[in-house]
């Protein structure tokens, strides 16, 4: 079953953390650059501040990418707003990103438990249910979020479900094991498998498709590797190198920019 988040011409191009090769990751500048290129999909991360604001930030601590130190979750948003990524870029709120581009789809990776209950509230206020995909390396976070959501949302499978799909690669697609797995994925609202390149074999992609899952591969920055995965049947690529992926897709006549694209 196709869901609104995935109803765009494939293969899908995801700007990973906004396109971190071109501007500081998860920054307004990165997201804006990808939007100007015509990207319909932005990938980002979600973490909660101590006063329950959901911000676009990958790491648990501020140390790696900002001019501050310590866990971001220990700070109030007013303090986070004063911190700069790479010394220049403010940390966006998820809600502000969703409101800035109402026609853009967002792939949101829930990075902490505190953010789980905040995301449904953000989606309610922004009416963004149909243009987000929620993912996490924690199956427990995904289950908790699903229980709190008012309505169905596109979700990526958990790592455990990725492993389950891999375990069926030699199983008859008509077997009870496959039927049970397909039912479980459907009940979990799982519509895509987002996986590293080492998992994205032709056999895995075919089996995922048989289970009704789109396959998105991360994080691919090499032109030849992008082409190889697309040839295998990948439904989407996540990249920091947003200009490279755009060019690869354009060469294959598979680049479908949104109308806001202004750069060549």
The gap between the terminal CA atoms of the chain, to the nearest Å, is 35
Closest CA to 218 of 244, 243, 200: 200
In the 8-state DSSP scheme, what is residue 92?
P
Q: Cis bond leading into 11, ω under 30°?
A: yes
Q: What is the pLDDT of residues 176-198, one digit of tens each?
A: 888 888 888 887 789 999 999 99
Cα–Cα distance for residue pair 134/153, rounded to 1 Å: 7
Stated pTM of the model: 0.95
Cα–Cα distance for residue pair 5/43, rounded to 1 Å: 13
Higher-confidence residue of 34 and 174: namely: 34
Residue 259 pLDDT exceeds 80: no
Residues 246, 133, 111: CA angle, nearest 5 degrees: 100
Q: What is the pLDDT of residues 138-157, one digit of tens each?
A: 999 999 999 999 899 999 99
Cite the active site residues: 16, 58
In the 8-state DSSP scheme, what is residue 93?
B
- Give the model's pLDDT for residue 157: 95
Question: Where are the domains positioned within the chain?
Answer: 4-59+93-251
Q: What is the pLDDT of residues 104-140, one digit of tens each?
A: 999 999 999 999 999 999 999 999 999 999 999 999 9
Cα–Cα distance for residue pair 55/89, rounded to 1 Å: 13
Q: How confident is the model at residue 264 (pLDDT cuts 50, 70, 90)?
A: very low
- Give the model's pLDDT for residue 263: 47
In the 8-state DSSP scheme, what is residue 198?
G
Across residues 200-224, what is the average pLDDT? 96
Measured from the Cβ of residue 44, the count of other Cβ atoms closer than 10 Å reads 24
- Give the model's pLDDT for residue 102: 96
Q: Residue with structure tokens 């920091």? A: 240
50 by Cβ neighbours in 10 Å (0-12 / 13-18 / 19+) ranks as middle
Pick the CATH number of 4-59+93-251 from 3.30.420.40, 2.60.40.3680, 3.40.630.180, 3.20.20.190: 3.20.20.190
DSSP E strand stretches across the chain = 12-16, 41-48, 54-55, 105-110, 132-135, 154-156, 190-196, 214-218, 236-239
């Amino acid at each position: 079953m196709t869901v609104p988040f995935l109803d765009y011409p494939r293969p899908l191009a995801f700007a990973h953390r906004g396109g971190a090769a071109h501007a500081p990751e998860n920054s307004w500048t990165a997201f804006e650059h990808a939007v100007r290129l015509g990207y319909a999909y932005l990938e980002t991360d979600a973490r909660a501040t101590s006063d329950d604001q959901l911000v676009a930030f990958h790491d648990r601590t501020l140390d790696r990418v900002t001019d501050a130190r310590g866990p971001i979750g220990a700070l109030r948003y007013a303090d986070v707003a004063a911190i700069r990524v790479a010394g220049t870029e403010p940390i966006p709120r998820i809600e502000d990103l969703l409101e800035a581009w109402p026609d853009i789809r967002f792939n949101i990776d829930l990075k902490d438990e505190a953010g789980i209950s905040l995301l449904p509230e953000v989606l309610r206020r922004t009416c963004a249910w149909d243009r987000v995909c929620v993912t996490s390396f924690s199956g427990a976070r995904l289950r908790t979020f699903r229980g709190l959501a008012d309505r169905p949302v596109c979700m990526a499978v958990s790592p455990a479900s990725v492993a389950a799909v891999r375990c069926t690669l030699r199983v008859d697609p008509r077997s009870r094991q496959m039927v049970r797995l397909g039912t479980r994925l459907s009940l979990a609202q799982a519509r895509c498998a987002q996986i590293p390149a080492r998992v994205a074999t032709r056999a895995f992609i075919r089996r995922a498709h048989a289970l009704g899952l789109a396959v998105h591969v991360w994080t691919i920055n090499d032109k030849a590797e992008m082409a190889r995965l697309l040839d295998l049947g990948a439904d989407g690529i996540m990249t920091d190198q947003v200009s490279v992926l755009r060019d690869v897709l354009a060469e294959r006549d598979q680049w479908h920019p949104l109308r806001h694209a202004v750069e060549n």
